[in-house]
Amino acid sequence: MVGTTYTIQMASKLSGVGVHTIRAWEKRYKALEPSRDSSGHRTYSKTDIEKLMLLSELCLLGYTISKVAKLSILELKELLKDLGKSEESLEQSDFNLVSENKVQIDPSQSMPIIIFALRSYKLDVVSLELGKLKSLVSNRDFALSILLPLIQTLREAEASGTLTSIQCEAVNVLLKFHMGHGLFHNSDKKEKGNVNLLIAGMQGDSEDLLLGLVGLLANHYGVHYTYIGADVSGEVLVDLSKSLEANTIVLGPTNAFARLGKGPFQNYIEKLLSKISPQTELVIAGKSELEFDKMTSRKLIILKSIEAIDEYLSKKAL
C-alpha cells in the first residue's frame, strides 16, 4: 500500500520550510528526492517532511545546508543530540500527522540549545525557543529555570568578550521582550491577599533583567503588583507609592551598591524611608551593606538572592 503523500505547499506548511527553500535544497544540494504524481508534480512522504524539519533545526543552530543536506535522518538526529537534544525529545518530535497533540517541550532539554545559540549569537534560535517555552511553563519556572540561567550566561559572555557590548544589548532587549509576556499579562493565579506591591530599580541602576524576574515571580504567586522598571528616582518612587497606595516596595535586585558606592546607596535608602508611609514595607533585593542605626523605619527587609525573593513572595501570597 502506498503511503500518504503531500504537495510541496503542504510539505512547506508542515515542516516550516519555505517552498523556494525546499526547491533550492533539492536542486542544489540533493537533500531530497521527491516522487512525482501522474501530472509530474512533486510529492513528499512523511519521511521527507521529517527530514526537512531536522535540516531546518540544524541550519538554525549554525550548520550550513551543504554540510548536512545528504545526511540520513539518523545522522541528522545524532548531530542534534551532540547539541543537547535528548533521544526522547527527538523521538517525540518525529513527524506524525495523525496526532493532533502539540509537541511537548521539555525545558531541561531546550536549555542547552538556547544557551548554545546565545553564545553563538543565534538570536533567531533563542527567540524561537523562548517563544515556545513561555507558553508551556509557569512564570516562576520561566523566571528561575530559563531566564535566570540565560542572564548568567549573557553576563559571562560579556565579561569574557565572547559577545560584544552591542550584541549583549541586543540579547538583553530580546530577553526583555519575552519577559514582557509574563510581566504584563494576567497572573498565573487569582490575585489574593492585601499586598499592593511596587517593583522598581533605584536611580543610577539600569539593571532591569533581574528586576523583571521579580515581576514574573509576583505574577506567578498572584501578588498584586505594579512593575515600574529600572533607574527610578527616589522622588518619583515616593510619589508613585502614595498615588498607587502601595504597602510594599521591592527595590532591585540591584547592582547600585557596587556601582555607586556605600555612601550614595545609603543616602538613597535613608531618604526613601523618611518619605514613604511608615506602614510601607521596603524590600531591598540584592547584595548591599547598610547602617541600620541610621534608618528611620524598621519596615526594612534585605533579600540577597533571587531564591530569597521567591520565598518572600510565596509567603506574601498566603
CA 309 – CA 225 distance, rounded (Å): 14
Cell of 291: 547602617
How much is the average pLDDT of 114-124?
90
CA 25 – CA 32 distance, rounded (Å): 7
Lowest mean pLDDT among 48-57, 141-150, 281-290: 281-290
What pLDDT is recorded for position 6?
A: 85
Cβ–Cβ under 8 Å, residues 234 and 267: no
Query: Tens of pLDDT along 267-306?
Result: 888 888 889 988 899 998 877 666 655 555 558 888 888 9
How much is the average pLDDT of 248-263?
76
Chain centroid offset of residue 111 CA:
10
Q: 219: left (phi > 0), else alpha (psi -120 to 50), else beta?
A: alpha
Question: Residue 189 pLDDT more than 70?
Answer: no
How much is the average pLDDT of 153-167?
94
CA 119 – CA 193 distance, rounded (Å): 42
What pLDDT is recorded for position 263?
A: 78
Question: Residue 80 pLDDT more than 90?
Answer: no
How much is the average pLDDT of 22-41?
91
The pLDDT confidence band at residue 204, using thresholds 50, 70 and 90, is: confident
Q: Comparing C-alpha atoms, which of 223, 190, 180 is closest to residue 310?
A: 223
- Locate all alpha helices (DSSP H) within the chain, ordered by sequence: 8-15, 19-29, 46-60, 65-68, 73-82, 87-92, 107-119, 123-133, 139-141, 148-160, 165-183, 209-221, 234-243, 256-260, 262-275, 306-316
Question: Residue 128 pLDDT more than 50?
Answer: yes
Cell of 80: 542534534
CA 212 – CA 75 distance, rounded (Å): 41
Which value, in Å, is the radius of gyration of the alpha carbons in the chain?
25
How much is the average pLDDT of 59-68?
85
Cβ–Cβ under 8 Å, residues 33 and 23: no
* Cα→Cα distances 164→20, 161, 168, 287, Å: 34, 6, 6, 27
What pLDDT is recorded for position 18?
A: 83
Helix (H) or strand (E) holding 281: strand 281-285
CA 241 – CA 237 distance, rounded (Å): 6
The pLDDT confidence band at residue 313, using thresholds 50, 70 and 90, is: very high
CA 62 – CA 116 distance, rounded (Å): 10
Lowest mean pLDDT among 34-38, 84-88, 92-96: 92-96
Is 0.85 topped by the overall pTM?
A: no
Selection from 135-139, 300-304, 311-315 with the highest mean pLDDT: 311-315
How much is the average pLDDT of 211-221?
92
What pLDDT is recorded for position 187?
A: 63
